[in-house]
Homo-oligomer: A and B are copies of this chain.
Amino acid sequence: MAGRSFTGLVYIGTSVDGFIAREDGDLGWLMSRGEAAGDAGYSDFSAAIDTMLIGRSTYEVVQSFGSWPYGGKHVLVLSRTLDAGADDKISVVRDLDEAADRLGSLGAQRVYIDGGRTIQACLAAGWVDELTISRVPVLLGTGASLFGPLPGDVDLEHVRTDVLGGGMVQTTYRVVR
Contacts and interface: CB of A to CB of B under 8 A. Distances in A.
Contacts of A173: 16, 137, 167
Contact of A167 (B140, B141, B156, B163): B156
A139 B150 contact: yes
A140 B168 CA distance: 24
Number of copies: 2
Interface in A23-67: 29
Interface in A127-177: 133, 135, 137-142, 146-158, 161, 163, 167-169, 171, 173
Contact of A141 (B142, B146, B149): B149
Given A141-B154, A156-B167, 12 more contacts: A16-B133, A29-B153, A137-B158, A139-B150, A140-B153, A141-B150, A142-B149, A142-B150, A157-B167, A158-B163, A158-B169, A167-B173
Task: Give the top 9 A-B pairs by smallest Cβ distance, nearest first.
Answer: A158-B167, A141-B150, A137-B156, A17-B147, A139-B154, A18-B18, A141-B149, A161-B163, A137-B158
6 contacts: A18-B147, A137-B155, A139-B154, A141-B147, A161-B161, A169-B171
